[in-house]
Amino acid sequence: MVRTFLAAAAALCAALTVGACGSGSEATGDAAPTAAKPAPSFAAVQEAARGQTVRWWMFGGDDRINAYVDEVVTPAAAKAGITVKRVPITDTADAVQRVVAERRAGKDSGGGVDLIWLNGENFAAGKRAGLWLEDWAMKLPNARYLDAEDPTITTDFQVPVDGQEAPWSRAAFVFAADSAKLPRPPADLDALLAYAKAHPGRVSYPAPPDFTGSAFVRQVLAAKGEDAGLAYLKTLAPFLYRKGATYPKSEAELSDLFGNGQLDIAMSYDAAFVRAAVRKGTFPKTTRPFLLGRSSLQNVSFLTIPANAANRAGAQVLADLLLSPALQAAKADPDVLGIPTVLDTAKLPPADRARFGAPADGPYVLSDLGKPLSEVAADDVAPLEARWKREVLAG
């Protein structure tokens, strides 16, 4: 019984305790503090940033990204006089909820979240609620290397970015199979269905609302249309692992099943995941990435700054640094992360362009990610997941 109270308490006492101490400032007005003021020149921002500690809330479940931040980003930030404090979270929603709790408590400045790595629903929800610092991202010096016409840069799950977040990473949804067992993996969704019918129980995908499972469902829906896509998944279900009665709960579980040889196909929204898994020894060395149907679901993930952040200047300088050709090139290097850059390399000076070398290649990374399928609108993701649950899981 104590635990039931705790369940209620754990989720909500944060809101209350902050509320108790911050209620005095509620009367001072609720306008975003910096939105109205003219932006100072970036040199002034850099000056203000010196000595600040930027608390960067980010998904902490990827060892390679953590290592990149700790070993590449942190030393580079130190040169600009900024200390990076990585706050690892299991779900990006946690960071947004923290900001919501602060705002609920009337805390309009001095907030505990300086920078968040996010996209999609998390950004859209915060934008709707007016949580983010406005009109800063395109003023970063390194933003001049971005393609301002590219819809993946100017919109985030179809929500206009409006200078409230700076792009950081590009993701593409790829599949993987063991070339020793499956030299010619299914070429498209219909071939995947045929494969599952011929080999019942050898294919599965994580159940939405898991991040990867939800992306797989969106990939199917993007390729086939909403109703036809769900009908396709329903047809596929009885031929899945355990006849579709149960789905893996996460990408990690799916990867385990693939690594054990219990499933024939793995998938991830990280275009370089095969390389990482082979290096870790969890996938066979003969594993190769592939695309279903010459296209892949792609998105860009961004960095946003809460309007009430305590270290807004430091956060902007760090976001600019993360967008710099040097750090973007390090991230795109297959030996570091192998994540495609968000910069338009054609706009870079020749010396910087050379850093990026040839597009990622080698057996574990696809050089051609196919035609990009764009993400659905952020607000449609949760209803899609609910529909999948109703029609595919229960049906």
Partner 1 sequence: MSVAWRARLAVAPALLLVSVLFGGALAGAVRTSLVPLGGDASLDVWRALFDDPAFWASVRFTLRITVLATVLSAGLAVALTLALRGRSTLQRTLVALPVPVPHLLVAATAVLWLAPGGLADRALGGLPVDLVRDRHGLGIVLVYVYKETPFLALLLLAATGRALAEREEAAAVLGAGPWQRVRWVVWPTVRGPLVLGSLIVAAFVLGAFEVPLLVGPNAPSTVAEYAQQATTGDLIAGEGTAAAALLTTAVAAMVLAVGAVRVARTGEER
Shortest CB 313 distance to partner 1, Å = 26
Cβ closer to partner 1: 3 or 37?
A: 3
Query: 372: closest CA among 253, 291, 257?
Result: 291
Q: Phi-psi region for residue 242, left (φ > 0), alpha (ψ -120 to 50) or beta?
A: left
Cβ closer to partner 1: 243 or 371?
A: 243
Distance, in Å, from the CA atom of 123 to the CA atom of 128, rounded to the nearest integer, reads 9
Shortest CB 116 distance to partner 1, Å = 12
Cβ closer to partner 1: 18 or 77?
A: 18
Cβ closer to partner 1: 353 or 387?
A: 387
Shortest CB 207 distance to partner 1, Å = 4
Residue at 183: amino acid letter: P
Cβ closer to partner 1: 242 or 371?
A: 242
The contacts found for 62-66 with CB under 8 angstroms, 24 or more apart, are: 62/270, 64/276, 64/336, 64/337, 65/337
Cβ closer to partner 1: 202 or 331?
A: 202
- Residue 368 CA to chain centroid, in angstroms? 20
Residue 370 tokens, joined: 């196919």
Distance, in Å, from the CA atom of 28 to the CA atom of 108, rounded to the nearest integer, reads 9
- Residue 266's contacts (CB-CB under 8 Å, 6 or more residues apart) are 175, 176, 177, 254, 255, 258, 273, 274, 277, 283, 287
Shortest CB 84 distance to partner 1, Å = 25
Q: Where does this chain bind partner 1 (CB under 8 A)?
A: 1, 3-9, 11-13, 15-17, 19, 30, 91, 93, 96-97, 100, 103-104, 121-122, 125-126, 128-130, 207, 209, 241-242, 245-249, 253, 256-257, 260, 262, 382, 385-386, 389, 393-394
Shortest CB 281 distance to partner 1, Å = 16
Shortest CB 136 distance to partner 1, Å = 22
